[in-house]
Amino acid sequence: MNRLLAVTNAAAGGGEAQAVEAALDVLRATSEVEVEPCTDVDDLPGILAGREGRLVVVFGGDGSLHSIVSVLVRENWLDDTVLALVPLGTGNDFARTLGLPLDATEAAEGIASAQERRIDLLVEDGGEVVVNAVHIGVGVDAADEAADLKPRYGRFGYVLGAARAGFVSKGLRLRVVVDDVVVATGAHHVFQVAVGNGRFVGGGTPIAPEADLSDGAVDVVLSYALAPAKRFAYALGVRLGRHGLRQDVQTHRGRTVTVTGPPFRWNVDGELNGPDTRRSWTLRPGALRVLAPVGQES
């Protein structure tokens, strides 16, 4: 039998707890499963230290996966660890790009037939990771606005937060460098900078619709849509995945991205960080080992 280490959220309750148990029942039918409920991120090093060659099954969303990968990178455990994901988050954007079922039971059923993929990983200068995407500007404001709305409205809270943010975001004078090429000088306000390893943010918004998790490059999107009408058109274009066709949007691809400017915050895998005046990310091609359905990338 396969040996699995299932990392769950100890605070899960209600429907989420039921979804976890149903998915665990599926896994137990074909595998030897050790369950480790996680109470706090500080518990993760101890939990993962006991993986002993097991497949690590992450029960959660982008934030949970981010936390676990961060520990694996920090402890130099990445090369000898294979991950699988059972989506239980609000957005599940990384799962969407991988083509995983968003139903926990269906995702668990798919693990038995999934194959290992080598996934690219972004790493900051300080060692923090970006599994799915990082963005600055209106996307951060949208996540901020959505924070109080998600508990009540779920994924739709992202949409409401983005609508609010579209009216209040002012843009930032940011200097952006991709692979040593200056793509934004800081002379003009930038409405949004998005760096996509995966394709989606905010519960299914295709911010980098052409991104490929295994192509050795990240997609960088710059928006200068500052006028009210252009903001609305940009937001609509993002929802449709067609914003890259706009004249006030630039797209680039590369392996290193550096952003500098006045103090700014950034959203990494759904979590707000900052402020700071400089962030830099470098891609590690194929650094992450993940089980995924064959030929099912979104």
More confident residue, 161 or 58: 58
Helix (H) or strand (E) holding 230: helix 228-240
Q: What is the mean pLDDT of residues 107-117?
A: 95
Q: Residue 269: its pLDDT value, please?
A: 95
Predicted confidence at residue 158, as pLDDT, reads 58
For 265, other C-beta atoms within 10 Å of its C-beta total: 16
pLDDT for 265 equals 94
Q: How confident is the model at residue 12 (pLDDT cuts 50, 70, 90)?
A: confident
Q: Which value, in Å, is the radius of gyration of the alpha carbons in the chain?
A: 19
Place 231 in a pLDDT band, splitting at 50, 70 and 90: confident
Residues 78-97 pLDDT 10s: 999 999 999 998 889 999 99
Q: Is the pLDDT of residue 295 over 70?
A: no
pLDDT at 162 over 70: no
Domain assignment present for 121? yes
Whether residues 78 and 134 fall in one domain: no
How high does pLDDT run on average in the chain? Answer: 91
Assess if residue 22 is contained within a domain.
Answer: yes
Which tokens sit at 201? 């943010």
Note the pLDDT of residue 13.
76
Where residue 259 sits, what CATH number does that domain have? Answer: 2.60.200.40
Domain-embedded: residue 117: yes
Residues 169 and 103 in one domain: no
Q: What is the pLDDT of residue 150?
A: 59
Sequence-ordered strand ranges (E) for 157-228: 172-178, 181-190, 192-196, 218-223
The CATH number given to whatever domain includes residue 104 is 3.40.50.10330
Range of the domain at 158: 130-282
State whether 159 and 255 are in the same domain. yes
Please give the model's pTM, rounded to 2 decimal places. Answer: 0.90
Question: Is the pLDDT confidence value at 145 over 90?
Answer: no
Please tell me what DSSP assigns to residue 245.
Answer: G
Whether the per-residue pLDDT at 1 is higher than 70: the answer is: no
* Token pair of 204 as six digits: 């299914």
241: left (phi over 0), alpha (psi -120 to 50) or beta: left
DSSP letter at 158 equals H
Give the confidence band of 157 by pLDDT, cuts at 50, 70, 90.
Answer: low
In a domain, 220, yes or no: yes
| Residues 45 and 170 grouped into a single domain | no
pLDDT score, position 167: 56
Q: Residue 297: inside a domain, yes or no?
A: no
Both 139 and 276 in one domain: the answer is: yes
Query: Do 162 and 262 share a domain, yes or no?
Result: yes
Flag whether 298 is in a domain: no
Question: Are 103 and 188 contained in the same domain?
Answer: no
Q: What is the pLDDT of residues 16-52, one digit of tens each?
A: 999 999 999 999 999 999 999 999 999 999 999 999 9
| Nearest-angstrom CA–CA distance, 22 and 33 | 13
Q: What is the pLDDT of residues 188-210, one digit of tens each?
A: 999 999 999 999 998 899 999 99
Whether residues 98 and 240 share a domain: the answer is: no
83 and 177 share one domain: no
Domain count for the chain: 2
Whether residues 118 and 241 share a domain: the answer is no
- Verify that 205 and 218 share a domain, yes or no: yes
Q: Are residues 159 and 52 in the same domain?
A: no
Higher pLDDT, 11 or 262: 262
* C-alpha span between 81 and 69 (Å, rounded): 10
Q: Report, as an integer, the average pLDDT of 245-260.
A: 97
Residue 161 pLDDT greater than 60, yes or no = no
Amino acid letter, residue 237: G
